[in-house]
Amino acid sequence: MKRIVHIEINQRLESNAPRDVVLEFVSKFAKTCKLIQGSIINSFDDPFLSEHVQTVKICEINDEAPQCLEANDVDLCYHVYTLDPYGSQLETMDGEGDKEVPFALHCILPTTEFAGLWESLVYDSAIKENLLNFVETTLLFSDSGVDMNIIKWNRVVLLHGPPGTGKTSLCKALAQKLAIRLGHRYTHGEFIEINSHSLFSKWFSESGKLVTKMFSKIQEYIENPNALVCVLIDEVESLTHARKSALAGTEPSDSIRVVNAVLTQIDQIQRYRNVLVLATSNVTGAIDTAFVDRADIKQYIGPPSPFAIYKIFLSCIEELQRTGIITSNDSLMNLKLLQLSSSESTEGTKNNLTKNSLFLLNIARKSEGLSGRSLRKIPFLAHSYYIQKQTTSLEEFLEAMEKTVLKQLQDQKFSFGGVPHKNSGCNCVG
């Protein structure tokens, strides 16, 4: 069985060419060029492609080291899409006294707002691929007419873990990726991000009714069979706080009505094939067990390992090289080649490529304990603290990054009264 290679074609917004025509031209182009994993092609000799195509992305080849594949050796799966330029809009509904209540942010997918987000998320495990496979299985079972009373699935994903590890970003990236990959099935995607904490705390006395009304608004989108609807419930513990606390008298009884309303609405919308509920939580123990039980996937997202941190830093440095802020043309090794090189060579024979790559790996090891959100800030802070000029060399920038990491860890230690926690066995990051 041949390997499947996905080719994502970003058609220009101003292009009016039919998608099947664009696909035909890209198909011919792909059969004559080298397919390298993760590569993004944005320059074309063909006038038609230059006029109508923004980028062609070769993706979902899981090997660490870049591979060059022949088109005849793989099955090519093409996806043509156009990015919506308008971004998120505030959704409101009628509240108490006919006042407008903001309850969510809404955008059309795929959107420029989430462009590149999927690629920026780095994990030690195959969590992104597993989530894509999960959705593919839900569609297969639904299309095949599998009886949900016999085999149960709810189209609910729960991502949990400490703050700053990329849970919300992963939900957005997954929704964007699904809108692209399922473009042959749906005309567009709808992404609805519920701010559950704000909704519940501000309108507490009417919260149960508002939750029901909110899902009624969402169901208007779900009832369009041509739309893939992804509903994100951020900080889901705010809406699904464990009912045992209320029964014990430690939480107001209104929280029971809220949880019951959420569970009832999720049970109602699960019969639709075109909806996916994504939830995040920083405090999993506070979530009602009935909601946790409804989640098909319960994935812990924790701090990154040093090897994942290396890949995050590598992507940041490559971006600064692309923009010319780091002027050195010297490249850094991907993780697999670095591990192979460091095991085969002695210190005296290592070249600058290997030395710089090992230096970055050493910085990554020192960064253990920082969240994914903090790690993405390190290059910016390094330039702000120690560079402060338009261009710099790779070696100078790596030294600045090392100083910045040590400073961040020291500041965190004194600011929060303790040493940053180490990665306690988790194998995925965001």
pLDDT tens, residue by residue, 119-153: 999 888 889 999 999 999 999 999 999 999 899 99
3-81 shares its CATH topology with 89-300: no
Name residue, tokens 């099955």.
75
Percent of the chain whose pLDDT exceeds 70: 84
Out of 17-21, 228-232, 267-271, 426-430, least confident range: 426-430
Percent of the chain whose pLDDT exceeds 90: 58
- Does the structure show a pLDDT above 50 at 242? yes
- What is the pLDDT averaged over residues 343-363? 75
pLDDT band at 246 (very low <50, low <70, confident <90, very high): low
3-state secondary structure of 128: helix
Name which of 385, 390, 401 is nearest 317 in CA terms. Answer: 401
Task: Annotate 3-19 with DSSP letters as a single string.
Answer: EEEEEEEEE-TT--S-H
Exposed (0-12), middle (13-18) or buried (19+): which is 233, by Cβ within 10 Å?
buried
- What is the pLDDT averaged over residues 387-410? 95
pLDDT value for 36 = 81
Out of 215-224, 260-269, 336-345, least confident range: 336-345
Instruction: For residue 65, give the amino acid letter.
Output: A
Higher pLDDT, 375 or 271: 375
Number of H helices, E strands in the chain: 15, 13
pLDDT band at 350 (very low <50, low <70, confident <90, very high): low
- What is the pLDDT averaged over residues 354-372? 92
Superfamily of domain 89-300: P-loop containing nucleotide triphosphate hydrolases (3.40.50.300)
pLDDT tens digits along 44-83: 999 999 999 999 999 865 545 556 767 677 888 999 999 9
pLDDT band at 13 (very low <50, low <70, confident <90, very high): very high
- What is the pLDDT averaged over residues 146-167? 92
Give residues with Cβ within 8 angstroms of 45, minimum separation 6. none
For β-strands 227-234 and 188-195, DSSP reports them as parallel
Name the average pLDDT for the chain: 86
3-state secondary structure of 242: coil
pLDDT value for 427 = 40
Name residue, tokens 């790779």.
394
- What is the pLDDT averaged over residues 166-180? 96
Largest CA distance in the chain: 77
Instruction: For residue 63, give the amino acid letter.
Output: D
Q: How far apart are CA 187 and CA 183, in angstroms?
A: 6
Token code pair at residue 346 = 């002695």
Q: How far is CA 196 from the centre of its chain?
A: 20
pLDDT band at 385 (very low <50, low <70, confident <90, very high): very high
CATH of domain 3-81: 3.10.330
Token code pair at residue 386 = 């120690």
pLDDT tens digits along 202-230: 555 677 788 888 999 999 999 999 999 99
Name which of 201, 196, 293 is nearest 235 in CA terms. Answer: 196
Q: How far apart are CA 350 and CA 224, in angstroms?
A: 60
Name residue, tokens 């849970």.
167
Where do the structural domains in the chain lie, given as residue ranges?
A: 3-81, 89-300, 306-416
Q: How far apart are CA 150 and CA 87, in angstroms?
A: 40
Count, residues in the chain: 430
Give residues with Cβ within 8 angstroms of 322, minimum separation 6. none
Out of 27-41, 118-132, 176-190, 214-228, least confident range: 27-41
Name which of 152, 151, 155 is nearest 228 in CA terms. Answer: 155
pLDDT value for 425 = 39
3-state secondary structure of 295: coil
pLDDT value for 420 = 46
- Angstrom CA distances, 143 to 146, 147, 180, 185, stand at 8, 11, 20, 12
DSSP state of 294: H
Tally of CA atoms within 13 A in the half-sphere of 6 that contains its CB: 17
pLDDT value for 68 = 73
